[in-house]
Structure 1
Amino acid sequence: MKKSAVMPMFAFVLLLVFGAFWTWQTPGWLRGSLTPQEVDYHIGMLEQNLVMPAPEKNELLARLRAWALADDGRPFFMLNLMRYYPELRRFDGAPAFSGTPLQSNEYYETAVAPLALSRGAYPVYAGMTHGQNLVEHAAELDHWSRVILMRYPSRRAALELFADPDYAPIEPFKMMAMQLLLLPNHADLVIPELRWLVGGALLFLFMATGWWRAATGRLHPASCWRSILRSTSRRLPTDAVRSNLTTYKQKGPESTGL
């Protein structure tokens, strides 16, 4: 019997989709590292559009340039460690906003989400802190408010986000709201949330078992036909008797052999 080509084609399409998604999330193997020309362009855009106090801006751009020039093309994580100010910090060029620091940052996170996601960046986790540090009690290292760990596909993606003209009006809402520590890092170990990992593994086991039983004939489609035939065979005598009775009434006993 000729085998259907549907499943191999379906598998091929799924493989292409996965390959495209993998490349979107790990573009360095295809595009390589940032070039000095790219770094100069993006830093120039940041210098032109970024709104923050001048000393902080100059230090940020210098560190960002050095970090971008050392690009290895790999995905990375960015630790955001935040401490809200008691009230909004005002500086030249900052937008007028009458809310609290918490509300200012909430606006920033909502507005920046589509810009980040369009470049394949997303938060691995985000949440408010619970109390003070358990270790290290120096005031300047304590009393953090919020933690976010972002995953970026590459340093290029991060630099493109920061230099995006649509990002420039959003950025001050974060800088007005908090003292911020940004620490880029590579992951040596990433473990998914174990509840989802175990649930996914059990679902895969269930589906794989069903596929194996069907492929090896342990789930016989013919069993359905056997049930139908058994049901039909039970009705056959009744149908035969009904037919004989009809013939008897029409033609008499000789026609039925009675």
Structure 2
Amino acid sequence: FWYTNTGGPLTAAEVEHYLQLMAETDGVEADVEQIRGFLEGDKGGQFIMVNIVDLNENPPTIGGVEPGASADDLMARYMEFMFPAMLRRACHPAFYGPAIGPVVDLVGLPGAHEWDQAVLMRYRSVRDMLEIVTNPEFAGRHDYKIAALDKTVAFPVSPLLYYSDLRFVLGLLLLTLCALINLLISGKRNNPKNLSGINI
């Protein structure tokens, strides 16, 4: 129940409310009118934010962080806010992996041959994502992420084959547990030593 959005899709009033908040929030760099279509098309379900990341090898010095901090240090400061904010809303990383080679197929995207990592973030709903990014604390933390990156691409997708869904995993665990209990009970019933009451 906690893992599933029960609030339904965004209403028209909510769309306008969140767009206004995003326009007023420092650190939110999305084209507000471009994102309108995403919000208005909300179906109320979960989605995955695909993040392709190239870290800055020489990030600029930013307030609150010691000079010479690495991109990983800056991202860690950003995630200090993001992880708790996401987990409170049943949002979490679904996949993370470092790149093991350059791009092997590239069309129409100059200068995008090198990436460092890919991250998939599961959001319970569009509303949950908006609550996070319009939090005033997000603006300051987002500066750490921007400083840590040389370039990035992020876009939302609707999961069709998503076996990391915790509801699916929990279902498999419960089925496995029931099967084991059934085997134990069946084994006791069929135990040949349990012959009391049988006349031979």
Bin the TM-score by the shorter chain: 0.7 to 0.9
Q: Which residue of 1 aligns with 2:129?
A: 158
Q: Is the 8 A contact 1:34 1:73 kept in 2?
A: yes
By how many angstroms is 1:132 displaced? 1.0
Q: Distance in 1 between matches of 2:183 and 2:153?
A: 49
Q: Which residue of 1 aligns with 2:31?
A: 60
By how many angstroms is 1:61 displaced? 2.3
Runs of 4+ in 1 over 6 A off after TM superposition: none
Task: Say which SS state the counterpart of residue 173 (structure 1) adopts.
Answer: helix
By how many angstroms is 1:139 displaced? 5.1
Does 1:31 find its partner at 2:3?
A: no
Residue of 166, 178, 181 corresponding to 1:207: 181
Q: Which residue of 1 aligns with 2:161?
A: 189
Equivalent positions of 1:81-100 (< 5 A) are 81-88=52-59, 95-97=63-65, 98=67, 99-100=69-70
- Between the two proteins, what is the percent identity of the paired residues? 20
By how many angstroms is 1:67 displaced? 1.0
Task: Say which SS state the counterpart of residue 181 (structure 2) adopts.
Answer: helix
- Deviations 1:103-151 (Å, cap 9, x if unpaired)? 2112212331000111110011112211212222865222111211011
- Report which stretch shifted further, 116-125 or 137-146: 137-146
Q: Is the 8 A contact 1:95 1:172 kept in 2?
A: no
Q: Distance in 2 between matches of 1:202 and 1:119?
A: 28
Q: Distance in 2 between matches of 1:126 and 1:110?
A: 17
Q: Distance in 2 between matches of 1:36 and 1:78?
A: 23
Q: Which residue of 2 aligns with 1:122?
A: 92
Q: Distance in 2 between matches of 1:121 and 1:161?
A: 10
Residue of 43, 57, 61 corresponding to 1:72: 43
Q: Distance in 1 between matches of 2:131 and 2:163?
A: 28
Q: Which residue of 1 aligns with 2:78?
A: 108
Q: Is the 8 A contact 1:43 1:163 kept in 2?
A: no
Higher helix share: 1
Q: Is the 8 A contact 1:81 1:180 kept in 2?
A: yes
Task: Say which SS state the counterpart of residue 166 (structure 1) adopts.
Answer: helix
Unaligned runs of 5+ in 1: 1-19, 227-258
Q: Which amino acid aligns with 2:48?
A: F
By how many angstroms is 1:63 displaced? 2.4
Q: Alpha carbons of 1:66 and 1:177: their partners in 2 closer, same or farther (altered >3 Å)?
A: same
Query: Cα RMSD between the aligned structures?
Result: 3.2
Q: Alpha carbons of 1:203 and 1:63: their partners in 2 closer, same or farther (altered >3 Å)?
A: same
- Report which stretch shifted further, 148-157 or 184-193: 184-193
Q: Is the 8 A contact 2:27 2:138 kept in 1?
A: no
Number of aligned pairs?
188
Unaligned runs of 5+ in 2: none
Larger RCO (CA under 8 A, 6+ residues apart): 2
Q: Distance in 1 between matches of 2:143 and 2:3?
A: 28
- Deviations 1:143-186 (Å, cap 9, x if unpaired)? 11121101111111111111122322211111111122111001
Q: Alpha carbons of 1:34 and 1:134: their partners in 2 closer, same or farther (altered >3 Å)?
A: same
Q: Which amino acid aligns with 2:27?
A: V
- Deviations 1:199-249 (Å, cap 9, x if unpaired)? 9576653333113445xx3359x95x99xxxxxxxxxxxxxxxxxxxxxxx
